[in-house]
Amino acid sequence: GEDVEQSLFLSVREGDSSVINCTYTDSSSTYLYWYKQEPGAGLQLLTYIFSNMDMKQDQRLTVLLNKKDKHLSLRIADTQTGDSAIYFCAESIWGYQKVTFGIGTKLQVIP
Amino acid sequence: IAGITQAPTSQILAAGRRMTLRCTQDMRHNAMYWYRQDLGLGLRLIHYSNTAGTTGKGEVPDGYSVSRANTDDFPLTLASAVPSQTSVYFCASSDAGLGGADTQYFGPGTRLTVL
């Protein structure tokens, strides 16, 4: 079955880069996602990557996918206090309308 | 455009009472979902609906029921609430179809406390 794992907590200083890591178990995964949850709010999609890609960049966000190791990472450049949130890794499989979420990584940005 | 709305925002409920959490989307998405979020457990899927008129069980369906009479509404009912159902409940919708990226749009959540 599908399983998505993430570390629980990451603390960085404002202006540094943040790297949030995720591993998944299902090699059939087609799309991999990063969602952001701010306090008291629902999840919001940040970005996603198709499984035949290695990297995707969108402004301060860089997603790296290592299919061999089933490892996904989200790098946030020049981390700001507004980036403090919980970040969820998720996966879905082609043909199935089901998304499996990780437990979420809480990012704390220290001014 | 409101996107996806949930009601109530929060609720305190006595054990044994019946409760319906409401969810409405105005994006005409075919699929809708109910998740619960608990500390240390992340998001867990309760029930889902791929299209109006159909529903399915997720990872933790016991004690919950849903209906999907039309595209926009997807209520979640707790027939007889128990304290273990204390959680934050999120409704979500998506319009992936088969084979596309399943981008899910989340509501703001309902914080439910069962005493």
What does the DSSP assignment read for A19-42?
EEEEEE--TTEEEEEEEEE-TTS-
Tally of residues, chain B: 115
Task: Summarize the confidence of residues B80-104 as an average pLDDT.
Answer: 86
- Kindly report, residue by residue over B8-63, the tens digit of the pLDDT: 999 999 999 999 999 999 999 999 999 999 988 889 999 999 899 999 999 999 99
Instruction: Determine contact: B103 vs chain A, CB below 8 A.
Output: yes
Q: What is the residue-averaged pLDDT of chain B?
A: 93
Choice among A69-83, B5-19, B92-106 with the minimum mean pLDDT: B92-106
**From the CA atom positions of chain A, what is the Rg in Å?**
13
Sign of CA dihedral A21, A23, A27, A33: negative
Q: How close B89 gets to chain A, by Cα (Å)? A: 9
Judge: A99–B101 Cβ closer than 8 Å, yes or no.
no
Give me the pLDDT at residue B100, please. 66
Give me the pLDDT at residue A26, please. 78
d(CA A79, CA A106): 14
Q: For residue A92, what pLDDT band results from cuts at 50, 70 and 90? A: confident
Which of A40, A43, A95 has its CB closest to that of B106? A43
Q: Is the pLDDT of residue A50 over 80?
A: yes
Q: Is the pLDDT of residue A1 over 70?
A: no
Q: For residue A2, what pLDDT band results from cuts at 50, 70 and 90? A: low
Q: Which residues of A touch B (CB under 8 A)?
A: 31, 33, 40-45, 48, 50, 88, 92, 94-95, 97-99, 101-104
Judge: B42–A104 Cβ closer than 8 Å, yes or no.
yes
Secondary structure class of B97 (helix, strand, coil): coil
Give me the pLDDT at residue A52, please. 85
Task: Summarize the confidence of residues A8-20 as an average pLDDT.
Answer: 96
Q: What percent of chain B has pLDDT over 90?
A: 83
Nearest CA in chain B to A38: B108
Q: Is the pLDDT of residue A28 over 90?
A: no
Sign of CA dihedral A86, A87, A89, A90: positive
Which candidate in A99, A101, A105 is best for mutational testing of the B interface (most B CBs within 10 A)?
A99
Give me the pLDDT at residue A93, please. 78
Q: Which residues contact A86 (CB under 8 A, 6 or more apart)?
A: A36, A37, A104, A105, A106, A107
Choice among A30-39, A56-65, B2-11, B90-99 with the minimum mean pLDDT: B90-99
Give me the pLDDT at residue B97, please. 59
